[in-house]
Amino acid sequence: MHPVLARKGETVLLMGNEAIARGALEAGICLAAAYPGTPSTEIVETLAEVAQYTKTYVEWSVNEKVAFETAYAAAISGVRSLTAMKHVGLNVAADILMSSAYAGVKAGFVIISADDPGHHSSQNEQDNRWYGFISHIPVIEPSSAREAYFYVKEAFKLSERYGHPVILRSTTRISHTRQPILLEEDIPIEKACKGSFERVIERWVLVPGHARKLKSKLMEIWRKIQMETSEPFVKIINPGMKTVVIASGIAYSHVSEVLNLTGLDDKITVVKVNMPVPLPRKPIEEVLSTAEKVLVVEELDPIVEDQVKRISLEIGSTSKIFGKEYVPLNDELSVQAVYDAICKFLGSCSPQRWESIGDIKTDPPIPPRPPVLCPGCPHRSSYYILKTSLNRAGFRNVIYTGDIGCYTLGYQKPFETQMTSFEMGGAIGIGHGLSKVVDELVIAIVGDSTFYHAGIPGVVNLVFNKGRAIPVVLDNSVTAMTGHQPHPGSGYTATGEATAKILPEDVLKAVGFETYVINPLRVKESVATLQKALEEFKKGKNIAIVSRARCALEVMRDARRSRVVLPVYRVDPEKCTACQACVNLAACPALVVDPNTRKPVIVEDLCAGCGLCASICPYKAIQVSNTPSSEWEKLW
């Protein structure tokens, strides 16, 4: 049984994202919709795994905006719902986010924003608590995985109390940390999963006349939330001290650990903040009435610090308030960073009761390992085929615009086929714009999931406005980078049900492209196809390319399960001249160079049998070394 389905009173070890899913199920959600993105993915992935047992509708939507709209529609019909996304995903859903605050909800509606301080897997580390201010939607911030379980339920209660959406902000460290969690309630068997839409035009149709009235109501709700909320969203520990530390979210966990380690637990008032936006006012006024100096500790931007300073100014407090003078503005906080901040704030440092283990040294030293495409990744072959075809067709100084996905790694040598990467679906729009102002050919490379997410409007615009970029869709039939979630081209839903399969080439043909589909495992055949396509482009036609082969990780997993033997390649040292063409052009991790002979060797345990290195070798020195199953290629 999935641990998320355990009964009340049991203690289960859950990841923060699983804890959020369990809390939402206890709160009685009937619908969840999301687009996968680290560090948020496991929330809806977990809900999908248990959907049939919990009677919950779960979907992977084509992007965060659609996911938000799907979940919000349930909430305005009286059905509790949840949507989840990584921090940059909320940018995609920002339009409907703003409007949802005006119209409100009829049932609990929680938006999970999983932020990524430290850029572990993101293009930026934006602090999404700001979205609470500009949308006037409260932001709740747990300080641990255990609290994530508790506060998602509190978020649903708050949402229903005020008929208002609520943002729950997690961060990578909370989303991916595991903690034992004592389950407080059972998942309800009976839930209100049937909605009823009331045709209240003045509420749901945001024309200016209606929106003006709703804005006044929105501000009234905002003020009530600020003035009426206290515990459990703010807790004062050791009240009445002259020295105060205010900490929000996971920063509280670091503060608590530092005070415990330094023996300062009972000498400082600590204000634990779990709703940084809007900061509940009365508890802060109470603390400021006796405090002489205050340190605000929070990750990334001074969201709480600015509010504390404003409240202090408005009530005439003489407390000295510090924050980002001592607390880093960038990156994740750590116990050491918080210790250093508290040490400077107090003006005296207690002896550290812990000692860093320092850098781990090995002999020989571990070489730096930049991220690379996996062995057998079809993107590697696609890039080789693309560049070879363009070269043979006479195109020089080609500009490659790129996107977000595994294939972004194509920016590295030897491929250098990703020269921009800004946001989901951006490759095509940027490519179109460049094609209007430069003379060089522009190739816009996008993944399949990204194509459905935000690429389709770009290709429509490209044709409509007569751009001359060539879209290339790298189709591996799943959202590979986040863990192989299905998308509209997969043919199955989040819960594994068979569904319509919408192929990229059909969409591209429908909007006006002459579309060429290649199999990157067949290198020579694909090069010939693309040369033909490029000749058509020279004649003025709109062409698009779809390169289709499954993710190598899925293929290798399925091969093990089905006992299908994939080809494995080896280098014949007698034929090899050590020209290094395979190493320099394929850059496959399965290819290593023998330091004695300077000849490449294939690590057979890593080889996925894609055959790109054999296609590249000018001396036919790379050959299949085993007897593969006759139908191995079908796995791709």
> Tens of pLDDT along 87-141?
999 999 999 999 999 999 999 999 999 999 998 888 899 999 999 999 999 999 9
The per-residue DSSP string of 7-61 comes to: PTT-EEEEEHHHHHHHHHHHTT--EEEE---TTTTHHHHHHHHTHHHHT-EEEE-
The pLDDT value recorded for residue 368 is 74
Mean pLDDT in runs of 10 for the chain (636 residues)? 95 97 98 96 97 96 96 96 97 96 97 93 93 98 97 98 98 95 96 93 94 96 96 96 97 95 92 98 96 97 98 96 96 93 89 73 80 93 97 96 94 94 94 95 97 96 96 96 94 96 98 98 97 97 98 94 95 96 94 94 94 95 94 91
The two beta strands, 622-624 and 57-60, are unpaired
Strand ranges (E), 103-255: 109-115, 139-140, 166-171, 178-182, 234-237, 243-248
Cα-atom radius of gyration of the chain, to the nearest Å?
Answer: 28
> Tens of pLDDT along 144-153?
999 999 999 9
Residue 249 Ramachandran class (φ > 0 left, ψ -120 to 50 alpha, else beta): left
The pLDDT value recorded for residue 140 is 98
Report whether 95 contacts 160 (CB < 8 A).
Answer: no
CA 112 to chain centre: 12
Pairwise CA distance, residues 389 & 525, whole Å? 11
Report whether 470 contacts 457 (CB < 8 A).
Answer: no
The pLDDT value recorded for residue 361 is 84
The pLDDT value recorded for residue 337 is 93
Residue 511 Ramachandran class (φ > 0 left, ψ -120 to 50 alpha, else beta): alpha
The two beta strands, 569-571 and 622-624, are antiparallel
Q: For residue 611, give both structure tokens.
A: 């055959």
The pLDDT value recorded for residue 364 is 82
The pLDDT value recorded for residue 345 is 96
Output the average pLDDT for the chain: 95
Q: For residue 633, give both structure tokens.
A: 């290629």
The pLDDT value recorded for residue 558 is 94
The pLDDT value recorded for residue 121 is 84
The pLDDT value recorded for residue 350 is 74
